[in-house]
Structure 1
Amino acid sequence: MKKINILLVCNAGMSTSLLIEKIEKAGTEKEIETTVDARPVDDVKNHLKEKDVILLGPQVRFKEKQIKALVKDQLPVAIIDMAAYGTMDGEKVLQQALSLVKD
């Protein structure tokens, strides 16, 4: 079974709770073991272990360079598609994460 461990980054770590559920549901439907952790942007450095990808909520897109510098190309970092985030499209966000992870 394929696995992916996603770190979602937002302002306070709370606005993504519904998105987490939808991403994990999409993973289950596709038989992908999906683990999603949401953290506030200022707490990212303490939660990098065992992550495969970091996805930033559109509201913290201005922190992308800072987070990329923190992970030093060890993990892919991307901004979640604004439409997918706004509609809480867990399947689309999961596909974005999977597309960023090297097999």
Structure 2
Amino acid sequence: MKKILLACNAGMSTSLLVSNMQKYAKEIGVEVMIEAMPVLQAEKSWQDWDIILLGPQVRHVIGKFKETVKEQIPVLVIDMRDYGLMNGKNVLNTALKALEE
């Protein structure tokens, strides 16, 4: 099971996106654990996840996250369009592709 963390300002704006991602994962038969949390909390618990997806509104912390995780896990910024449309399919596919690399 892949564990995907979405990090944003308060962890609340991504809850709909998490739901959409989970719904799509179920449709395609992929077992994933997806959770949203604030950036500060994500910084402290990154070791528990396989990938971190940052909301576009916190993309400015990507350098700090990459330095913290030291390339042990992928850290990506969610595409602004996919985030705005709450496109769980695209966001999940992006995460799964990054995990395959």
Normalised to the residue count of structure 1, the TM-score between the two structures is 0.92
Ranges in structure 2 where 5+ consecutive residues have no aligned partner: none
Query: Which runs of structure 2 are paired with 1:25-44 in the superposition (5 Å)?
Result: 25-44=23-42
Counterpart of 1:76, as a letter, is: P
Deviation at 1:49?
3.4
1:16-37 deviations in Å (ceiling 9; x for gaps): 1100100000100010012111
Distance 1:102 1:49 in 2: 18
For residue 7 of structure 1, what is the aligned residue in structure 2?
5
Aligned structure 1 segments of 4 or more residues deviating by more than 4 angstroms:
none
Secondary structure of 1:37's match? strand
For residue 45 of structure 1, what is the aligned residue in structure 2?
43
Ranges in structure 1 where 5+ consecutive residues have no aligned partner: none
For residue 63 of structure 2, what is the aligned residue in structure 1?
65
1:40-99 deviations in Å (ceiling 9; x for gaps): 111113222331110000000000000111111000000001111000000000001001
Cα RMSD for the two superposed structures: 1.2
Normalised to the residue count of structure 2, the TM-score between the two structures is 0.94
For residue 21 of structure 1, what is the aligned residue in structure 2?
19
Identity over aligned pairs, percent: 45
Counterpart of 2:21, as a letter, is: I
Distance 1:45 1:64 in 2: 11
